[in-house]
A and B are shown apart, each in its own frame.
Chain A
């Protein structure tokens, strides 16, 4: 249909336009102030760093902690969310608890983790886990709840165990909203790790930015910031695409 094709082109053009405006704005700002490195210098500094291998350890530390925490949040969060969504009693008991805890800034528990576990990737990972677990629990509970009741009836009419019904019927049916929560959890895990690194860390991309800042190594700092944004961009878009594919299948 020509209308949707022209619409999509318009959207693409707008997107490209926005990116161009942003880059131009950056150039303008860098020309206006010596404290802002130009896009070109930043990218160059980033590439130099990458070539010299200076980024690898930090990258690994950040991404490692993030993935560890993210996986933990999924493994813990989905079963809890499932229980809350499926059992009226558990839902009534614990959903308010989750909702209220959601408002507490998880970063304030970072010093606690640092004290108990020590500085390093593990404390960052656990902070990411306790942060990301909330959107996952909430999304899973919501998704499980709105699974068509007829499907549960199908499961019980086959005389299957609860576990089988959960694994083969309810969870697949609730997958699109769960993926939404997982995507948000992923973003939260990433943000949490970076912020933790800006606070106290032994290594990581956040620490790299902070070091560059304190050494006034501006091009490197902006390059690292750009890299962090790029990672967030790629990661969240990938998960978003997965989520949309799942939604298309289920409609």
Chain B
């Protein structure tokens, strides 16, 4: 990822004067992987020791091996139903929040005063536990999935609106003039000239937004839902199904990591095409 460059004039802090710089490349990458493995080993070892020595009650914390086994048993339960429930909410939120975010981002770009006015509220929104509005939304929307979808949409809305605005602002101001000189009317000009230019930054925002939606949805499900991955974890907890819970927690962690990895690859390839 990082290019190897021997900056010969870079110097070490006190101590020995620096000789010729290190060899980079293979040894460097191997070193990085080694450090990661060391971290993993350290974490698992600490975990195992905590359970074995009884520092932690083995009823509340299974051994790494037991947790691993529980992971494989996860698909025997209602896993797929839960997964599809969560996925539904996330996708719906992404669609709604994304559309709203794009529109808002464009509005904030066109009307800078509006963007400035809204900024402190958006900043606050980041720090507000939007879940507290759940009771209000139940009253307004009913006891179904819509309150969850709406709250998750807000989590999607913010990074997309912000990135759209920033992406559009980063464009050279000559582009709208170009559009006019080519005689293209507003929406067409926007689509063909401005939006592609802003798209790379928007795509980064979209990845973050999708992740936030996922994290937020699972968190909310733990508290209020009756279905979904988060709900299942809460359910296992309340019913003392420790093994199943740990298995599910690990599976969700792995899935989230995998999702992030996929989204990052998609983002990188899309940005490369557009750049």
Contact = CB atoms under 8 A, between A and B. Distances in A.
A and B touch in the complex (CB under 8 A): yes
Interface of A: 7, 10-12, 14-15, 18, 29, 33, 35-36, 88-94, 97, 99-112, 114-116, 149, 152-153, 155-157, 159-162, 165, 184, 186-188, 190-191, 194-195, 198-200, 206, 209, 213, 221-222, 225, 228-229, 232-233, 235-237, 240
B2 A228 contact: no
Contact of B218 (A105, A112, A153, A235): A105
Interface of B: 1-2, 9-14, 28-29, 31-36, 39, 56-57, 60-61, 113-114, 116-118, 120-121, 123-124, 126-129, 131-133, 135-136, 139-140, 211, 214-216, 218-220, 222-224, 230, 233-234, 236-237, 242, 245-246, 249, 252-253, 256-257, 259-261, 264
Contacts of B131: 194-195, 198
Main DSSP-derived SS at the B contact region = helix
Contacts of B29: 92
Given A191-B127, A199-B234, A116 B60 contact: yes
21 contacts: A7-B113, A10-B113, A36-B139, A90-B35, A99-B260, A99-B264, A103-B256, A108-B218, A108-B253, A111-B233, A111-B236, A111-B237, A156-B13, A190-B129, A195-B223, A199-B223, A209-B132, A228-B128, A233-B124, A236-B127, A237-B124
Main DSSP-derived SS at the A contact region = helix
A111 B232 CA distance: 12
Counting from the closest, the 5 A-B pairs by CB-CB distance are A187-B127, A115-B60, A14-B117, A103-B260, A93-B35
B219 A88 contact: no
Nearest to B36: A93
Contacts of A199: 222-223, 234
A29 to B, nearest CB: 7
B215 A105 contact: yes
Given A36-B136, A93-B31, A100-B257, A155 B13 contact: yes
B124 A236 contact: yes
Given A89-B35, A91-B2, A236-B123, A102 B129 contact: no
Contacts of B11: 153, 156-157
B63 to A, nearest CB: 14
Given A103-B260, A104-B253, A111-B245, A190 B127 contact: yes
A106 B233 CA distance: 12
B271 to A, nearest CB: 16
Nearest to A111: B237
Nearest to A108: B249
A197 to B, nearest CB: 9
Contacts of A104: 215, 252-253, 256-257
Given A93-B35, A103-B211, A236 B126 contact: yes
A110 B216 CA distance: 14
A153 B29 CA distance: 26
A14 B118 CA distance: 8
Given A195-B131, A198-B223, 4 more contacts: A93-B31, A104-B257, A107-B222, A157-B11
A112 B133 contact: no
A232 B128 contact: yes
Contacts of A10: 113
A67 B245 CA distance: 29
Nearest to A229: B128
A235 B237 CA distance: 33
B113 A14 contact: yes
Contacts of B39: 94, 97
B233 A112 contact: no
Contacts of B224: 198
A99 B36 CA distance: 13
A179 B176 CA distance: 35
Contacts of B219: 105, 107, 195
